[in-house]
Amino acid sequence: MAKGHRSQIKRERNENQRDNRPSAKLSYARVSARKAGFVLDAIRGKDVQTALGILAYNPRYASTLIEKLLKSAIANAENNNGMNPENLYVAACYANKGPTMKRIRPRAQGRAYRIEKRMSHITIVLDER
């Protein structure tokens, strides 16, 4: 039987399983998860310099958000984890679905169509080679 209170045992177990890789998260981004996913697919697995180059010349709106997020993740790796930015690569990046704003669009003959303005939560995780 383990010693200590149940919450203390859980805390110690979670400390061992915590992911210590540097990351950055953008919550409630005003872009759909699907549209952000197209840009994230282009940079997944690439080193950060190549990824920044891809994002700089990508015409999609999500690429500007993701470029800013990637720079934040690089700064987190450098300042919090003491990693060298030249050795970093995009280990994981994904966009999860966020809440949806629902709006009404008037249509002909008194009808109303619903417009869904989707949001997403974008996460970038870096690692060292």
In a domain, 90, yes or no: yes
Q: Find the angle CA(25)-CA(43)-CA(19) to the nearest 5 degrees.
A: 45
Say if 78 falls within a structural domain: yes
Question: In this structure, are residues 65 and 109 in contact, taking their beta carbons and an 8 Å threshold?
Answer: no
Judge whether 95 lies within some domain. yes
Tokens of 90: 């995009």
Residue 2 lies in a domain: no
Q: Over the stretch 21-55, which tens digit does the pLDDT of each residue have?
A: 899 999 999 999 999 999 999 999 999 999 999 99
Q: Return d(Cα 15, Cα 12) in angstroms, integer.
A: 5
pLDDT value at residue 16: 82
pLDDT band at 13 (very low <50, low <70, confident <90, very high): confident
Q: How many domains does the chain have?
A: 1
pLDDT average, residue stretch 6-16 = 85
Q: What is the pLDDT of residue 18?
A: 77
Range of the domain at 26: 22-128
Q: Indicate whether 66 belongs to any domain.
A: yes
Assigned domain for 7 exists = no
Rounded distance between C-alpha atoms, residue 129 and residue 21, angstroms: 12
Per-residue confidence band for 64, with pLDDT thresholds at 50, 70 and 90 = very high
Q: Distance (Å, rounded) from C-alpha 104 to C-alpha 22?
A: 41
Separation between Cα atoms, residue 73 and residue 63, nearest integer Å: 15
Residue 91 domain flag: yes
- DSSP of 84-129: -GGGEEEEEEEEEEEEEEEEEEE-GGG-EEEEEEEEEEEEEEEEE-
CATH number assigned to the domain comprising residue 118:
3.90.470.10
Look at residue 1 and tell me if it is in a domain. no
Kindly report, residue by residue over 77-118, the tens digit of the pLDDT: 999 988 999 999 999 999 999 999 999 999 999 999 999 999
